[in-house]
């Protein structure tokens, strides 16, 4: 049995408190009045040509200067001021969106780790893998985060449309919809009640599978027959069918609909690859941590090697999907779909291409060697890079649609990572104390304990 | 080398072969060769063979393929004749890179795979019309053969091998 060390518990609580403070700070400082935004924009325009919005105003100002001497100077001035108002309002909204989006990205990132592990766990059971059963209890503990995590994500999404000012999903804003035929056409799918119901159905499906898989797994520990194993095999197969549909729709709802004018068929798989590789990485990090504390003496470097192979392979799979999505749209360059990447490449150059380095080049070069995959500190190092890279991936999916070029990874973003990271550690390690760390009744457990590569 | 003689010990089970290899190694005899009809898991470790470096070679060949693809397309599409083909930007390699990635990928795999296979053939001396080096045709079907060279210690070696469960022990004169 695992005991949740007081140190780690305190650590997770400190993370949550710090995170909460950061998130609170984000919300306190994000609401600027229109005048404040205008002075800020004017200052930015006069001081430096930093972002792209500023550059645009710069050009306008220059044009104004040359025409200023001419007779119709007044007219230009009035027009400029009017345009400036609309621009400032836009920027004001973007700045108000930032703490919401930061919170949402953090919540989604940790939720997707739990969900990715749940899918991985179901695949291990349905495929009757012989190497992984010694890691089942670690996976089950991580999946404990799926229910609270997914509910939090859904709650933030709905709250942004009810409490907030449509800070994440603009299709929730009836005023926007009224002037937008494209969104009107999609309102059969994109409307708040349906969004909530769909979300709850997905979460119920995942949580039910998790509940019963865990129940059968523990019941199998001291059972004489394999009935629980057979049941868990059957529900795993059924869950995987449900999962691939629900995950796909979840990614349209929770991620893709931040850009309601844009759509992509590959998107569900792409989000899946991201969650799958993050989940597998967390399994590796958790088992290395628990083994270093002496809780998993039945896990050896061969198991680590296999997990690291999955990290390696799914990282490449993610890149394959990322590139397929990017290249198809870049190549055909159809205006209505290419804006998605244009806004990312213009305003998010470093995160957008940086994540390819983090999620592809780094794992490929570091985890290619078979010996390196067996060295714990090496896997930990690569794992941290992969997790950071996939946080950036989610960041790149949400932020350009909500805050545009007003992004930064500052206190609101780091605060929400700390908040949900702390919650994740707390929930997962609490779940870990509830059952022995070896699923000893599982029929393939002996094979797994003797597994070597 | 003296008039070389070898002992062929024949086994009919891979488990017995494995334990025989371990015993012979423990008795500090040098095993020249082992002939088996199929890969025996762990045999190379038991014999103390050095690990293969073919994966490293394959990685380097892959880098060669990537370089070939990049240099080729940079010359053809960017430097030699930078045409406007359907509005694709051909001002620099990086700008048009997404269109080149499929070729870069395939050539990396192509070079890596083919050169690695050719390396394997060369290093293991396999080619068409090569004379088979099989000492006993049964080793391609269901027998395992261990070959140990003799240096005037036949008696001791023979008794050791018969202890290890060999079904047949033959002293062979290798006329070179």
Per the CB < 8 Å rule, is B98 touching A331? yes
Per the CB < 8 Å rule, is A368 touching B98? no
Q: Which residues in chain B touch residue A342, judged by CB atoms under 8 angstroms apart?
A: none
Indicate the range of A150-154, A272-276, A432-436, B169-173 predicted with least confidence. B169-173
DSSP letter for B74, please.
I
Query: Which of helix, strand or coil describes residue A214?
Result: helix
Minimal Cα–Cα distance from A136 to chain B, Å? 28
Per the CB < 8 Å rule, is A323 touching B99? no
Per the CB < 8 Å rule, is A327 touching B101? yes
8 A C-beta contact, residue A290 and residue A431: no
pLDDT at A13: 96
Minimal Cα–Cα distance from B98 to chain A, Å? 6
Q: Which one, of A161, A121, A429, lies nearest residue A279 by Cα? A: A121
Minimal Cα–Cα distance from A331 to chain B, Å? 7
- To the question of pTM greater than 0.80 for the whole model, the response is yes
Q: Which residues in chain B touch residue A331, judged by CB atoms under 8 angstroms apart?
A: 98-99
Helix/strand/coil percent split, chain B, to 5: 50, 15, 35
Structure tokens at A356: 């390819």
| φ, ψ at A370 (rounded to 5°) | -65, -35
Query: Cα(A427)–Cα(A291) distance, rounded to whole angstroms?
Result: 19
Per the CB < 8 Å rule, is A327 touching B55? no
Minimal Cα–Cα distance from A332 to chain B, Å? 10
pLDDT tens string B4-32? 888 999 999 999 999 999 999 998 888 99
Query: Cα(A254)–Cα(A263) distance, rounded to whole angstroms?
Result: 13
8 A C-beta contact, residue A125 and residue A220: no
Chains A–B, number of C-beta pairs less than 8 Å apart: 12
Per the CB < 8 Å rule, is B98 touching A323? yes
Per the CB < 8 Å rule, is B99 touching A331? yes
Pick A326's closest partner by Cβ from B59, B87, B98.
B98
CA distances from A27 to A100, A156, A164, B148 (A): 8, 14, 11, 79
pLDDT at A30: 84
Q: How are beta strands B5-11 and B31-35 bridged, if at all?
A: unpaired
8 A C-beta contact, residue B148 and residue B9: yes
Query: Confidence class of residue A423 from pLDDT cuts 50, 70 and 90?
Result: very high
pLDDT tens string B55-86? 999 999 999 999 999 999 999 999 999 999 99
Closest alpha carbon within chain A to B105: A320
8 A C-beta contact, residue A273 and residue A321: yes
Spacing of C-alpha A322 from chain mean position: 15
Note whether B98 contacts A: Cβ–Cβ < 8 A: yes
If phi > 0 it is left, if psi is from -120 to 50 it is alpha, else beta; for residue B48 that is left
> What are the strands of the beta sheet with B144-150, ordered from one edge?
B31-35, B144-150, B5-11, B168-173
Supply the ipTM of this predicted assembly: 0.89
A63, pLDDT greater than 70: no
pLDDT tens string A175-198? 999 999 999 999 999 999 999 999
pLDDT tens string B100-150? 999 999 999 999 999 999 999 999 999 999 998 888 999 999 999 999 988
């Amino acid at each position: 049995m695992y005991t949740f060390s007081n140190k780690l518990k305190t650590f997770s609580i400190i993370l949550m408190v710090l995170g909460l403070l950061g998130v609170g700070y984000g919300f306190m400082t994000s609401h600027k009045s229109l005048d404040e935004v205008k002075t800020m924009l004017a200052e930015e325009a006069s001081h430096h040509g930093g972002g792209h919005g500023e550059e645009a105003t710069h050009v306008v100002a220059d044009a104004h200067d040359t025409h200023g001497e001419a007779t119709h100077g007044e007219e230009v001035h009035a027009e400029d001021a009017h345009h400036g108002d609309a621009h400032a309002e836009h920027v004001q909204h973007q700045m108000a969106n930032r703490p919401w989006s930061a919170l949402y990205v953090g919540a989604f990132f940790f939720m997707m780790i739990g969900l990715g592990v749940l899918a991985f766990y179901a695949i291990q059971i349905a495929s009757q893998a012989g190497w992984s059963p010694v890691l089942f209890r670690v996976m089950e503990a991580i999946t404990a985060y799926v229910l609270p995590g997914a509910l939090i994500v859904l709650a933030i999404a709905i709250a942004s449309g009810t409490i907030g000012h449509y800070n994440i999903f603009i299709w929730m804003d009836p005023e926007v919809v009224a002037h937008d035929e494209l969104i009107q056409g999609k309102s059969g799918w994109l409307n708040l009640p349906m969004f909530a119901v769909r979300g709850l159905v997905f979460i119920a499906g995942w949580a039910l599978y998790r509940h019963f898989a865990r129940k059968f797994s523990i019941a199998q520990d001291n059972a004489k027959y394999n009935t629980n194993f057979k049941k868990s095999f059957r529900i795993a197969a059924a869950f995987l069918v449900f999962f691939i549909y629900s995950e796909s729709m979840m990614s349209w709802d929770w991620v893709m609909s931040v850009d309601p004018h844009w759509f992509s068929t590959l998107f569900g798989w792409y989000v899946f690859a991201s969650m799958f590789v993050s989940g597998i990485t967390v399994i590796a990090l958790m088992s290395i941590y628990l083994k270093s504390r002496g809780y998993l003496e039945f896990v050896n470097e061969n198991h680590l090697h296999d997990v690291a192979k999955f990290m390696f392979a799914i990282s490449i799979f993610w890149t394959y999907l990322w590139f397929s999505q990017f290249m198809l749209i870049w190549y055909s360059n159809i205006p209505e779909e290419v804006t998605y990447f244009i806004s990312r490449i213009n305003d998010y150059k470093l995160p957008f291409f940086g994540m390819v380095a983090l999620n592809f080049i780094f794992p490929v070069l570091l985890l290619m060697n078979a010996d390196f995959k067996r060295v714990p500190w090496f896997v930990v190092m690569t794992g941290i890079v992969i997790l950071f890279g996939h946080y950036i991936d989610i960041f790149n999916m949400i932020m350009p649609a909500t805050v545009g070029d007003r992004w930064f990874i500052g206190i609101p973003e780091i605060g929400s990572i700390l908040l949900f990271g702390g919650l994740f550690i707390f929930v997962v390690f609490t779940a870990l104390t509830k059952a022995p760390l070896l699923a000893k009744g599982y029929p393939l457990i002996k094979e797994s304990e003797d597994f070597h590569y | 080398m003296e008039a070389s003689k070898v002992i062929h010990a024949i086994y009919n089970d891979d488990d017995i072969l494995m334990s025989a290899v371990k015993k012979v190694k423990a008795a500090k005899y040098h095993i020249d060769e082992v002939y088996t009809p199929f890969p025996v898991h762990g045999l190379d470790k038991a014999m103390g063979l050095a690990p293969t470096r073919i994966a490293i070679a394959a990685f380097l060949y892959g880098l060669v393929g990537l370089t070939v693809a990049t240099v080729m397309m940079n010359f053809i599409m960017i430097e030699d004749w930078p045409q406007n083909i359907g509005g694709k930007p051909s001002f620099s390699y990086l700008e048009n890179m997404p269109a080149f990635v499929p070729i870069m990928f395939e050539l990396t795999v192509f070079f890596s795979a083919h050169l690695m296979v050719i390396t394997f053939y060369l290093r293991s001396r396999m080619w068409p019309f090569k004379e088979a080096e099989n000492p006993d045709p049964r080793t391609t079907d269901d027998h395992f053969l261990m070959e140990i060279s003799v240096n005037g210690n036949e008696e001791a070696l023979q008794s050791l091998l018969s202890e290890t469960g060999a079904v047949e022990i033959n002293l062979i004169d290798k006329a070179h």
